[in-house]
């Protein structure tokens, strides 16, 4: 996908303001090298309920929480990743996510 994909989709939907905002932004789902080099374990929680701003462009490619693609949350060197059926904005208020965070902080694992 080109860097103007989001802007093109927004224009098709008549969302001029969003097209202007996204026109200058490179897609966040491109290749990147994220590496965790610290000794502490890194745990990633990714939502899979696509109800965020991504709906304005159709859908984000792949699984997402509507704002961030699950694939984008992968970090080389992470201890563990877990997905939950929660939308991006609801992750902070989710009891399930809070429980996962507590377990990870106590044991370095979500399980």
> What kind and span of H or E run contains 80?
strand 80-84
Q: Residue 30 CA to chain centroid, in angstroms?
A: 13
> Are residues 48 and 63 in contact, defined by beta-carbon separation less than 8 angstroms?
yes
Can you give the pTM of this predicted structure?
A: 0.69
pLDDT in tens, 79-109: 999 999 999 999 999 999 999 999 999 999 9
Q: Each residue of 1-25: pLDDT tens digit?
A: 444 555 455 445 555 444 444 444 5
Decide if 45 contacts 102 (C-beta within 8 A).
Answer: no
Q: How far is it, in rounded angstroms, from Cα 23 to Cα 55? A: 17
């Amino acid at each position: 996908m080109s860097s103007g994909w989001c802007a093109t989709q927004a224009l098709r939907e008549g969302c001029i303001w969003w097209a202007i905002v996204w026109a200058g932004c490179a897609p966040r789902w491109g290749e990147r090298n994220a590496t965790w080099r610290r000794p502490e374990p890194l745990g990633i929680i990714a939502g899979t309920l696509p109800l965020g701003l991504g709906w304005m462009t159709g859908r984000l490619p792949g699984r997402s929480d509507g704002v961030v693609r699950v694939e984008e949350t992968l970090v080389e060197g992470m201890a563990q990743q877990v997905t939950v059926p929660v939308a991006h904005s609801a992750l902070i208020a989710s009891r399930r996510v809070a429980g996962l965070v507590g377990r990870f902080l106590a044991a370095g694992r979500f399980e």
